C-alpha cells in the first residue's frame, strides 16, 4: 500500500490526494506512473471554436472532438506549415522550429511530429534537413536499419526506434530492449556510460550473431548513444503534434478567431503583428465597446480592458456598468481610482466619449499621437495607433524585420528599447541590446570589440541599423 495524504492545492484551493514517494521507486514496486501535464493551448483551441461558431453560419463540431473531425491531410494546413507561418501553433512557434520548416518541403502530418523531436538536443538539424530533402541519397550503416529508420530519413529520432534496433538487429527480447531504452533515456553525462557497458557487449555480440560486422555494430551502437542527451518517444511526439496540427488547422481556416484566442491566453505583440500583416484592423480599448478580454468586432480585433496594465479585475466593474454617456458619467458610476482613469485616458479608452459631456454638448479634443503610441506600448504591450518607426519604413525596406529568418547574416533596423552593459571577466565592456524593428523585437549581443566602437553614440530610443548574425544557439550578435 502507498500512503496518501489529503492537501489543499495552493492555486485552485481544491483538496487533492498526494504522496511523497518517488516516481521511479513506485515503478520498481510494480505501480504504473502517469505524467499528467496541463496544456493551456487546449483552451485556445476551445475558445477558437467558440468564436468561429459565434460569428459564422457554418458551425464547427465540438472542440473536445477536434481530433476526430480535423483532416490530417488538409491542404490549407500543409500550405501554412510550408510557409512556416507557425506563430501561435503549439510547440512549432519556436524560432528553431520555424527555421526548420523554412528549410524543408512539408509533405504531411509526419513532418509535424518529426519537427517536435528534431529541435531537441542531440539531433543534428542540418543532417536531418539534408536527408529530408534528399531521401535518395540516404546511406544506411547497415541495410537492416532501413525498415526501422526509413520513415525518419535514416536518423534515429525516437526511443521506439532504439527498441526496434535492439530487438530486430541485435536480437534483444522486447523486455531487454525496453530496459536499454530506459537506461539511455536517463543517461545524462559521460560517467553514466558505465551503466551501459553490459548492454554494449550484449548488443555487439547480438549484431554479430545476426550477420552484422563488428565494426558496423559499434557504429550502430554509437548512433544509439547519441540519443542519451534526450531520448524522445514517438507516442509522445505524435500525441503532442495532434494538438499542433489542430492549432495550425484553425489558424489556416479561421485566422482572426485563432489569433484572438491566442491573445487572450498570452497577450503578446507577435499575435497582433500577425493580424496586421494579414490586413486585419486592431481597435483600441474602449470603455463602451471593449469587454474584459479581446473580442472580435466587425471582423476587427478589439483590445480587452483586462489586458491594460494596472486595470486587471477592474475591467469587470467597467463592463458591468456599460454603456457610459460621457467621461463624467463613467467617473460617477464606475468609481475606480484616479490612476486607473488616467491609464484609460492614456490608451484612448475614453476617445468615444471625448467631445461629449453628459448633456450631449460637443467640444473639440486634440490627441497627442506620439504620447498615445508610447502609452500603448507601455500599458498594453504593443502599438495600435501607429509605430514610431513608420517614418523609417523606406530606410528599413532592405532590413530583416523577422527574427525567425533562415538567413545566417542580415541587416536589422529599428529602435533601441533596452540597453544593459556588462563587464566581462577580462574587464571589457559588452552590451545586451533590445531592438524593436517594424514588426518584431530582437535581443542582440554586442561583444567588447564591437561595443567599444559605437557605445558612446547609442542609447535607449536611438534609431539604428546593425549587421547581425545568428549564433549556433539561435541567439543574435552584432558584427
Is the pLDDT at 404 greater than 80? The verdict is no
The predicted structure's pLDDT at residue 279:
93
pLDDT grade for 391, boundaries at 50, 70 and 90: confident
Give Cα 257 to chain centroid, integer Å.
Answer: 18
pLDDT grade for 380, boundaries at 50, 70 and 90: very high
Mean pLDDT over all residues of the chain? 87
Strand partners, 15: 8
Task: Identify the weakest region by mean pLDDT among 38-47, 71-80, 328-337, 390-399.
Answer: 390-399
The predicted structure's pLDDT at residue 366:
62
- The closest of 207, 206, 247, 195 to 46, measured between CA atoms, is 247
Tens of pLDDT along 54-69? Answer: 988 888 999 888 989 9
Cα torsion through 246, 251, 253, 259, rounded to 10: 130
Is the pLDDT at 50 greater than 90? The verdict is yes
The predicted structure's pLDDT at residue 48:
96
Q: How far apart are CA 325 and CA 333, in angstroms?
A: 11
pTM score of the predicted model = 0.84
Tens of pLDDT along 176-221? Answer: 898 887 777 665 444 455 567 778 889 999 999 999 999 999 999 9
Percent of the chain with pLDDT over 70: 92
Percent of the chain with pLDDT over 90: 51
The predicted structure's pLDDT at residue 78:
96
Mean pLDDT of 356-360: 59
The predicted structure's pLDDT at residue 41:
92
Per-residue CA distances from 252 to 50, 89, 111, 213, 271 (Å): 16, 11, 17, 50, 14
Tens of pLDDT along 76-92? Answer: 999 999 999 999 999 99
The predicted structure's pLDDT at residue 462:
86
Instruction: Classify each residue of 308-339 as buried b or exposed e, where b means 16 or more C-beta atoms within 10 Å of its C-beta.
Output: beebeebbeebbeeeebbbbebbeeebebeee
The predicted structure's pLDDT at residue 358:
55
Per-residue CA distances from 208 to 143, 164, 265 (Å): 14, 16, 55
Cell of 266: 498570452
CB 379 within 8 A of CB 343: yes
CB 158 within 8 A of CB 234: yes
CB 73 within 8 A of CB 108: yes
| Torsion over CA: 129, 77, 86, 394 (sign) | positive
Task: Identify the weakest region by mean pLDDT among 215-219, 292-296, 356-360.
Answer: 356-360
Is the pLDDT at 405 greater than 90? The verdict is no
∠ Cα 313 316 322 (to 5°):
145
pLDDT grade for 165, boundaries at 50, 70 and 90: very high
Q: What is the 3-state secondary structure (H, E, C) of the chain?
A: CCCCEEEECCCCCCEEEECCCCHHHHHHCCCCCCCCCCCCHHHHHHHHHHHHHHHCCCCCCCHHHHHHHCCCCCHHHHHHHHCCCCCCCCCCCCHHHHHHHHCCCCCCHHHHHHHHHHCCCCCCHHHHHHHHHCHHHCCCCCHHHHHHHHHHCCCCCEHHHHHHHHHHHCCCCHHHHHHHHHHHHHCCCHHHHHHHHHHHHHHHHHHHHCCCCHHHHHHHHHHHHHHHHCCECHHHHHHHHHHHHHHHHHHHHCHHHHHHHHHHHCCCHHHHHHHHHCCCCEECCCCCCCCCCCEEECCEEECCHHHCCCCCCHHHHHHHCCCCCCHHHHHHHHCCCHHHHHHHHHCCCCCCCCCECCCCCECCCCCCHHHHHHHHHHHCCCCCCCCCCHHHCCCCCCCCCCCCCCCCEEEEEEEEEEEEEEECCCCCEEEEEEEECCCCEEEEEECHHHHHHHHHHCCCCCEEEEEEEECCCCCEEEC
- The closest of 461, 460, 455 to 478, measured between CA atoms, is 455
The predicted structure's pLDDT at residue 365:
59
Tens of pLDDT along 5-49? Answer: 777 777 677 787 777 777 777 777 777 777 777 788 999 999 999
Strand partners, 411: 467
Is the pLDDT at 359 greater than 90? The verdict is no
The residue whose grid cell reads 513608420 is 390
Tens of pLDDT along 103-146? Answer: 999 999 999 999 988 988 778 889 999 999 999 999 999 999 99
The predicted structure's pLDDT at residue 186:
66
The predicted structure's pLDDT at residue 191:
43
| Torsion over CA: 166, 171, 177, 183 (sign) | negative
Amino acid at each position: 500500500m502507498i500512503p496518501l495524504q489529503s492537501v489543499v492545492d495552493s492555486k485552485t484551493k481544491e483538496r487533492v490526494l498526494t504522496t511523497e514517494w518517488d516516481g521511479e521507486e513506485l515503478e520498481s514496486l510494480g505501480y504504473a506512473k502517469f505524467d499528467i501535464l496541463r496544456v493551456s493551448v487546449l483552451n485556445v483551441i476551445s475558445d477558437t471554436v467558440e468564436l468561429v461558431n459565434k460569428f459564422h453560419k457554418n458551425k464547427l463540431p465540438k472542440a473536445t472532438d477536434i481530433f476526430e473531425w480535423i483532416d490530417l491531410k488538409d491542404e490549407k494546413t500543409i500550405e501554412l506549415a510550408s510557409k512556416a507561418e507557425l506563430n501561435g501553433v503549439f510547440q512549432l512557434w519556436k524560432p528553431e522550429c520555424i527555421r526548420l520548416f523554412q528549410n524543408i518541403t512539408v509533405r504531411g502530418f509526419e513532418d509535424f511530429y518529426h519537427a517536435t523531436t528534431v529541435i531537441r538536443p542531440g539531433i543534428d538539424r542540418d543532417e536531418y534537413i539534408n536527408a529530408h530533402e534528399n531521401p535518395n541519397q540516404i546511406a544506411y550503416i547497415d541495410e537492416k536499419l532501413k525498415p526501422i529508420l526509413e520513415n525518419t530519413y535514416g536518423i534515429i529520432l525516437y526511443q521506439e526506434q532504439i527498441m526496434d534496433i535492439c530487438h530486430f538487429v541485435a536480437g534483444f527480447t522486447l523486455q531487454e530492449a525496453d530496459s536499454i531504452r530506459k537506461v539511455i533515456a536517463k543517461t545524462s553525462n559521460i560517467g553514466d556510460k558505465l551503466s551501459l557497458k553490459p548492454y554494449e557487449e550484449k548488443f555487439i555480440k547480438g549484431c554479430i550473431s545476426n550477420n552484422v560486422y563488428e565494426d558496423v555494430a559499434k557504429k550502430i551502437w554509437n548512433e544509439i548513444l547519441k540519443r542519451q542527451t534526450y531520448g524522445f518517444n514517438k507516442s509522445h511526439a505524435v500525441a503532442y503534434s495532434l494538438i499542433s496540427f489542430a492549432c495550425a488547422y484553425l489558424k489556416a481556416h479561421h485566422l482572426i478567431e485563432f489569433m484572438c484566442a491566442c491573445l487572450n491566453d498570452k497577450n503578446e505583440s507577435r499575435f497582433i503583428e500577425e493580424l496586421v500583416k494579414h490586413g486585419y484592423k486592431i481597435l483600441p480599448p474602449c470603455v463602451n465597446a471593449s469587454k474584459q478580454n479581446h473580442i472580435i468586432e466587425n471582423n476587427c480585433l478589439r483590445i480587452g480592458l483586462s489586458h491594460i496594465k494596472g486595470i486587471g479585475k477592474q475591467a469587470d466593474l467597467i463592463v458591468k456598468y456599460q454603456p457610459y454617456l460621457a467621461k463624467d458619467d463613467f467617473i460617477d458610476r464606475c468609481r475606480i481610482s484616479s490612476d486607473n482613469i488616467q491609464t484609460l485616458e492614456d490608451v484612448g479608452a475614453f476617445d468615444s466619449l471625448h467631445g461629449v459631456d453628459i448633456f450631449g454638448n460637443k467640444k473639440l479634443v486634440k490627441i497627442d499621437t506620439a504620447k498615445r503610441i508610447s502609452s500603448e506600448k507601455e500599458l498594453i504591450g504593443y502599438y495600435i495607433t501607429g509605430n514610431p518607426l513608420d517614418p523609417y519604413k523606406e530606410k528599413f525596406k532592405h532590413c530583416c524585420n523577422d527574427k525567425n529568418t533562415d538567413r545566417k547574416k542580415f541587416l536589422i533596423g529599428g529602435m533601441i528599447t533596452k540597453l544593459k552593459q556588462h563587464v566581462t571577466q577580462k574587464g571589457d565592456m559588452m552590451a545586451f541590446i533590445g531592438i524593436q524593428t517594424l514588426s518584431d523585437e530582437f535581443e542582440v549581443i554586442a561583444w567588447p570589440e564591437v561595443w567599444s566602437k559605437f557605445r558612446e553614440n547609442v542609447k535607449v530610443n536611438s534609431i539604428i541599423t546593425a549587421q547581425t548574425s545568428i549564433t549556433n544557439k539561435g541567439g543574435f550578435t552584432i558584427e
